[in-house]
Amino acid sequence: VRFMLKAMGQEGPHVTAATFCYALTPYVLTLAARLSVILLPYAGLPWLIGLTVLSLRRRRWREPALFALVVATIGSVNATALILCGFGPLLWIFHEVAVTREVRLRDALAAVGRIGVLTVGCSLWWLSGLWAQGGYGIEILRYTETAETVAMASLSLEVLRGLGYWFFYGEDRYGPWIAPSRSYMDNPLLIGVTYAIPAIGMVGAAAARFRERMFFLLLLALGLFLAVGAHPWDHPAPASAAVKAFLESDVGLSMRSLPRAAPLVVLALSVFAGALIAAISAERPGLARPLTAGLVALSVLALPPLWRGQLVDANLDRAEQIPGYWTEAARALDARDDGTRVLEVPGTDFASYRWGNTVDPVLPGLMDRPYVARELIPYGSPASADLLNAFDHRLQEQIFDPQALAPMARFMSAGDVSVRSDLSYERFNTPRPRTLWRLLSTAPGILEVLGFGPAARNTPRADLPLLDEQALLTPPDLPDPPEVGVLGIEDPEKVVRTAPTESPVVLSGDGDGIVDAASAGLLTGHELVLYSASYAGDAAGLREQVGRDAALVLTDTNRRSARRWGTVRDNTGITERPGQEALVRDWKDQRLEVFEGATDDHATVTESRGDVWADATSYGNSVSLTPEDDPTFAVDGDINTAWRTGGFSAADGERLRITYRHPITTDRLTLLQAWGGVRTRTISRVGIAFDGGASTPYDLDEASRPDQPADDGTAGRSSLLPTDLPHGRHHDRGTD
Residues in Cβ contact with 340 at an 8 Å cutoff, skipping those fewer than 6 apart: 369, 370, 413, 414, 415, 416, 489, 492, 493, 494, 495
Backbone angles phi, psi at 589, to 5 degrees: -80, 100
- One-letter amino acid of 735: T
376/575 Cα distance (integer angstroms): 22
Which tens digits make up the pLDDT trace of 428-470? 999 999 999 999 999 999 999 999 999 999 999 888 888 888 8
Alpha helices by DSSP H, listed for 208-261, are 213-228, 238-247
User: Could you please report the per-residue DSSP string of 27-45?
Assistant: HHHHHHTT-GGGGHHHHHH
Is residue 231 within 8 A of residue 150, CB to CB? The reply is no
**Helix or strand or coil: residue 673?**
coil
Residues in Cβ contact with 659 at an 8 Å cutoff, skipping those fewer than 6 apart: 612, 613, 614, 615, 733, 734
Is residue 21 within 8 A of residue 160, CB to CB? The reply is no
Residues in Cβ contact with 557 at an 8 Å cutoff, skipping those fewer than 6 apart: 390, 509, 510, 511, 512, 513, 516, 604
Residues in Cβ contact with 298 at an 8 Å cutoff, skipping those fewer than 6 apart: 193, 196, 197
pLDDT of residue 736: 58
pTM of the entire predicted model = 0.86
pLDDT of residue 146: 86
pLDDT of residue 649: 82
Nearest-5° angle of CA 654, CA 657, CA 663? 160
User: Could you please report the per-residue DSSP string of 6-22?
Assistant: HHTT--SHHHHHHHHHH
Nearest to 210 by CA among 3, 2, 11, 1: 11
Region for 662 from its dihedrals, namely left if φ exceeds 0, alpha if ψ lies in -120 to 50, beta otherwise: beta
Residues in Cβ contact with 10 at an 8 Å cutoff, skipping those fewer than 6 apart: 210, 212, 278
What residues in the chain have per-residue pLDDT under 70? Answer: 677-678, 707-736
Residues in Cβ contact with 707 at an 8 Å cutoff, skipping those fewer than 6 apart: 675
Distances, alpha carbon 498 to alpha carbons 51, 214, 730, in Å = 55, 66, 65
pLDDT of residue 707: 64
Nearest to 395 by CA among 416, 417, 379: 417
666/664 Cα distance (integer angstroms): 7
**Helix or strand or coil: residue 553?**
strand
